C-alpha cells in the first residue's frame, strides 16, 4: 500500500494501477552495523519486466474504504 498513489486509483472503472514497489533500504556503516531501515518507493517492479505492471480490480469494500479515507484527508 505504501507505493500506491491516489492518481493510481481509477474509481470510475473500479481498479488500481500497480507500477511502483515499496522496498526497504539500509546501508552498511563503517562499524559493520546497518543504518536504520527506511521504506523507499521505487518506480520499477520486481524483476524489471513489464509483467509486474498491471491493473487490479477493487472490491466494493476496497472502494468504500478508499472513499472514506480520501474524504477525511488522510492522503
Cα separation of 3 and 45, whole Å? Answer: 11
Q: Which of 4, 2, 68, 31 is nearest to 55 (CA)?
A: 4
Residue 27, domain member (yes or no): yes
Q: 15-54: per-residue pLDDT in tens? A: 998 877 777 778 888 888 888 888 777 776 665 556 667 7
Residue 1, domain member (yes or no): no
Asked whether the predicted pLDDT for residue 11 surpasses 90, the reply is yes
**How much is the pLDDT for 58?**
94
**How much is the pLDDT for 39?**
73
* Global pTM value: 0.59
Q: Quote the domain boundaries for residue 12.
A: 6-71
Residue 67, domain member (yes or no): yes
Amino acid at each position: 500500500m505504501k507505493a500506491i498513489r491516489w492518481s493510481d486509483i481509477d474509481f470510475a472503472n473500479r481498479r488500481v494501477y500497480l507500477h511502483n514497489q515499496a522496498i526497504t533500504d539500509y546501508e552498511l556503516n563503517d562499524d559493520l552495523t546497518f543504518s536504520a531501515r527506511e521504506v523507499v518507493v521505487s518506480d520499477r517492479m520486481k524483476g524489471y519486466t513489464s509483467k509486474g505492471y498491471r491493473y487490479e480490480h477493487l472490491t466494493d469494500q476496497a472502494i468504500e474504504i478508499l472513499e472514506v479515507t480520501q474524504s477525511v484527508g488522510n492522503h
